[in-house]
C-alpha cells in the first residue's frame, strides 16, 4: 500500500482527523434457527406475518425454511445498528409460532433426518426457481446438516471523508474508484493475516449436538486418510475448540485450495471466482444436474454461483437489476466489506454486543493502517493453517501459530504484538471522546488472552460440562433467558 503503520498513527493523531476513523456505514445480518421448546428444529413454514421473502428487507430466510435471517439497513454507527437489531429481534420473536424459540447458538439444534430438514421455499418465478435450485444444490453437495449452521455477518465501509482525505494526502495517480478498491483489498489482506485473533476472542461454537456428529465423523475419516498423524490431535477438538462453525467441521472450502484467492487485486479476485464457477467438478458432476426430469443443482461446477465461495471476508456492492454481486463489483468497484467469521454469542441478547462491534472497528482500522503487502501461496497456507488451529485448538495453552516470516510463536505472544498496535489505534480513535469506548473495547478483549474463562467458547464449554447437562439443554436455557429479556424490555 502507500503507507505503513507508524506513518498512519502519526497522520491521524491530530484532533481534527481522528473522528474520521470511527465514522462509516455499519450493518449486521444475523441468522437464527427456529426451534421447539424441547430444542428440536421447528418444521413449520416461515411465518406468513413476515410477508414475501423477496420483499421484506428486515426479515427473510437463509438456507432453510426454519432459518430466520435478520438484516439491519446500513447505519452511521455501531450503536444504531445494535438498537435496530434489537427491534428486529423483538419483531421476530413476536411473529414466530407460539411456543417456538430462537436458537441462540451457531451450531444447529437437535436436527431431524436429512430428508426432513426443510429447505427454504420460494415463489415459482425465475428468481425464485434459481434460489430454490441453488439451495437444493447446496444440500446435495454438502448435506443439509452443514447448511444449518448459523452466524453473524458484519458489514462495514469507511466514511467518504476518510477516503477523500487519504486520496488527497497521498496524491494517488489513479482514479478514486481504483484507490477505493485498493484500500479495501489491502485491508482484507491484513484481515486474513490476523483474523485468527477474532476467532479466538469471539468464537462461540466449541460444541455441537450429537445429531451433527455424522458431519464431524465424515470429516475425520477424510483427515485420517490424508493425514493420519493429524487425526489424533484434531480429535481433541472437544477440549480446545473455539469455533466449530468456521473450522473444517463447519463451513469449509477444502476443495477450492488449488484456486486460492489471494485478494491482491479486483482483477485477480474476478478471474479466480470465474475460474471456480467454470471449473467442472468431478465429484459434483457425478451427482447430476437433473434427476427424474427435475433440476437438482444449478450446474456441476466447483461453485454453482459466487455465493458458494466461503471466505472469512467478502467484498460487496449493492446490485442493480440484471447484475450479480461479482459483475456489480467489476462494473462499479467495492462498496463495503462483509466479515463472515462471527459466531452467535449466546450470552448477548441479540447474539452480538456493542463492545464487540466497537472492537471490530478498531480491528478494521488496524488492518487499514498496516502496509498490506501482497499475499502469495506460501503465506496463504500459513493463513489457512492459523485459522484452523485457532478454530479447533484455540483454548489450548500450548498452541503455536505461524508467523508470516516463517517462524512459529505462541498464540499469546503473537496476540501481544497485535494488541500493542490495537491500543495505539484505539487511543487515536478516542482522542476527542470522554468515554474512550474504543480503548475500553480493546482492554476488555485483551483480558481474554490470560483468562480463558472470559472467552465465549470456554464459558459455553464450562456451562455444559460443569453443570453436567447437554448442549441442547444449555441452548434451551439461553433461548428462554433471551426471550425473557425481550419480554422485560417491552414492560418498560
3-state SS assignment for residue 119: strand
Distances in Å between the Cα of 485 and the Cα atoms of 30, 90, 350, 490 are: 18, 10, 10, 9
What would the pLDDT profile of 349-403 be if each residue is shown by its tens digit?
999 999 999 999 999 999 999 999 999 999 999 999 999 999 999 999 999 999 9
Q: What is the pLDDT of residue 172?
A: 84
Nearest to 70 by CA among 25, 104, 31: 31
Q: What is the pLDDT of residue 219?
A: 84
Q: What is the pLDDT of residue 492?
A: 35
What's the predicted TM-score (pTM) here? 0.96
Distances in Å between the Cα of 490 and the Cα atoms of 4, 93, 487 are: 49, 12, 5
Nearest to 350 by CA among 155, 46, 70, 75: 70
What would the pLDDT profile of 216-261 be if each residue is shown by its tens digit?
988 888 777 766 655 565 666 778 999 999 999 997 654 555 678 9
What would the pLDDT profile of 420-469 be if each residue is shown by its tens digit?
999 999 999 999 888 999 999 999 999 999 999 999 999 999 999 999 99
Q: Say which DSSP state 492 is in.
A: -
Q: What is the pLDDT of residue 210?
A: 95
- The stretch 139-156 carries a mean pLDDT of 97
- The stretch 52-73 carries a mean pLDDT of 97
Task: Please say if the pLDDT value at position 215 is more than 80.
Answer: yes
Q: What count of other Cβ atoms lies within 10 Å of the Cβ of residue 293?
A: 5
Q: What is the mean pLDDT of the chain?
A: 93
96 DSSP β-pair partners: none
The cell numbers describing 344, all together, are: 452467535
Residues 6 or more apart from 86 whose CB is under 8 A from it? 349, 350, 489
What would the pLDDT profile of 64-103 be if each residue is shown by its tens digit?
999 999 999 999 999 999 999 999 999 999 999 999 999 9
Q: What is the pLDDT of residue 50?
A: 97
Which pairing describes strands 290-291 and 294-295: parallel, antiparallel, or unpaired? antiparallel
Residues, the chain = 492
Residues 395 and 457: beta-carbon distance below 8 Å:
yes
- The stretch 288-314 carries a mean pLDDT of 95
- The stretch 47-74 carries a mean pLDDT of 97
Task: Please say if the pLDDT value at position 491 is more than 70.
Answer: no
Task: Please say if the pLDDT value at position 198 is more than 60.
Answer: yes
Which sign, positive or negative, has the C-alpha torsion 459, 462, 467, 470? positive
Q: What is the pLDDT of residue 474?
A: 98
Phi, psi of 260 (to 5 degrees): -45, 130
Residues 50 and 457: beta-carbon distance below 8 Å:
no
Task: Please say if the pLDDT value at position 26 is more than 50.
Answer: yes
Residues 6 or more apart from 315 whose CB is under 8 A from it? 184, 188, 269, 329, 334, 336, 337, 338
Q: Work out the widest C-alpha separation in the chain, in whole angstroms.
A: 68
CA 433 to mean position of chain CA atoms: 30
Distances in Å between the Cα of 199 and the Cα atoms of 252, 343, 408, 429 are: 15, 9, 19, 24
Residue 294, judged by CB atoms within 10 A of its CB (0-12, 13-18, 19+), counts as exposed
Q: What is the pLDDT of residue 169?
A: 93
The number of domains in the chain is: 1
Nearest to 312 by CA among 81, 181, 151, 97: 151
61 DSSP β-pair partners: 68
What is the chain's alpha carbon radius of gyration, rounded to the nearest angstrom?
22
Q: What is the pLDDT of residue 2?
A: 84
Question: Which domain covers residue 76, as residue numbers?
Answer: 5-491
Task: Please tell me the distance from the alpha carbon of residue 102 to that of residue 118, in angstroms, as a whole number.
Answer: 16
The cell numbers describing 431, all together, are: 482522542
- The stretch 13-37 carries a mean pLDDT of 93
Looking at residue 140, which CATH number applies to its domain?
Answer: 3.30.590.20
The cell numbers describing 289, all together, are: 444436474
Amino acid at each position: 500500500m502507500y503507507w505503513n503503520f507508524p506513518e498512519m498513527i502519526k497522520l491521524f493523531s491530530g484532533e481534527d482527523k481522528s473522528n474520521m476513523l470511527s465514522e462509516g456505514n455499519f450493518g449486521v445480518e444475523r441468522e437464527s434457527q427456529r426451534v421447539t421448546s424441547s430444542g428440536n428444529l421447528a418444521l413449520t413454514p416461515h411465518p406468513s406475518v413476515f410477508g414475501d421473502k423477496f420483499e421484506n428487507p428486515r426479515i427473510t430466510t437463509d438456507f432453510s425454511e426454519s432459518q430466520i435471517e435478520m438484516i439491519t439497513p446500513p447505519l452511521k454507527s455501531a450503536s444504531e445498528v445494535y438498537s435496530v437489531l434489537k427491534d428486529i429481534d423483538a419483531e421476530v420473536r413476536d411473529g414466530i409460532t407460539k411456543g417456538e424459540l430462537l436458537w441462540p447458538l451457531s451450531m444447529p439444534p437437535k436436527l431431524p433426518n436429512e430428508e426432513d430438514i426443510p429447505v427454504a421455499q420460494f415463489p415459482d418465478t425465475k428468481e425464485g426457481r434459481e434460489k430454490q435450485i441453488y439451495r437444493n444444490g447446496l444440500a446435495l453437495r454438502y448435506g443439509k446438516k452443514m447448511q444449518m449452521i448459523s452466524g453473524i455477518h458484519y458489514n462495514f465501509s469507511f466514511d467518504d471523508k476518510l477516503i477523500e482525505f487519504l486520496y488527497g494526502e497521498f496524491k494517488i495517480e489513479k482514479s478514486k474508484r481504483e484507490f477505493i478498491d485498493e484500500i479495501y483489498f489491502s485491508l482484507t489482506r491484513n484481515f486474513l493475516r490476523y483474523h485468527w485473533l477474532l476467532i479466538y476472542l469471539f468464537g462461540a461454537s466449541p460444541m455441537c449436538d450429537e445429531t451433527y456428529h455424522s458431519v464431524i465423523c465424515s470429516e475425520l475419516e477424510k483427515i485420517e486418510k490424508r493425514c493420519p498423524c493429524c487425526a489424533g490431535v484434531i480429535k481433541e477438538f472437544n477440549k480446545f475448540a473455539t469455533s466449530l462453525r468456521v473450522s473444517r467441521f463447519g463451513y469449509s472450502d477444502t476443495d477450492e485450495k488449488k484456486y486460492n484467492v489471494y485478494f491482491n487485486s479486483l482483477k485477480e479476485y474476478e478471474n479466480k471466482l470465474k475460474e471456480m464457477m467454470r471449473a467442472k467438478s468431478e465429484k459434483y458432476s457425478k451427482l447430476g444436474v437433473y434427476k427424474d426430469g427435475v433440476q437438482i443443482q444449478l450446474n456441476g461446477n466447483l461453485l454453482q454461483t459466487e455465493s458458494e465461495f466461503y471466505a472469512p471476508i467478502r467484498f460487496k456492492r449493492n446490485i442493480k437489476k440484471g447484475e450479480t454481486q461479482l459483475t456489480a463489483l467489476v462494473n462499479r468497484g467495492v462498496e463495503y466489506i462483509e466479515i463472515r467469521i462471527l459466531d452467535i454469542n449466546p450470552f448477548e441478547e441479540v447474539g452480538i454486543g456493542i463492545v464487540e462491534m466497537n472492537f471490530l472497528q478498531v480491528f478494521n482500522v488496524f488492518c487499514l493502517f498496516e502496509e498490506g503487502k501482497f499475499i502469495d501461496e506460501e503465506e496463504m497456507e500459513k493463513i489457512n493453517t492459523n485459522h484452523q488451529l485457532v478454530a479447533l485448538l484455540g483454548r489450548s495453552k500450548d498452541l503455536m501459530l505461524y508467523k508470516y516470516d516463517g517462524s512459529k510463536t505462541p498464540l499469546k505472544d503473537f496476540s501481544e504484538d497485535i494488541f500493542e498496535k490495537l491500543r495505539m489505534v484505539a487511543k487515536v480513535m478516542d482522542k476527542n471522546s470522554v468515554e474512550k469506548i474504543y480503548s475500553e473495547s480493546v482492554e476488555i478483549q485483551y483480558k481474554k488472552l490470560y483468562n480463558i474463562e472470559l472467552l465465549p467458547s470456554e464459558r459455553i464449554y464450562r456451562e455444559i460440562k460443569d453443570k453436567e447437562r447437554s448442549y441442547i439443554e444449555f441452548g434451551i436455557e439461553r433461548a428462554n433467558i433471551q426471550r425473557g429479556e425481550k419480554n422485560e424490555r417491552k414492560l418498560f
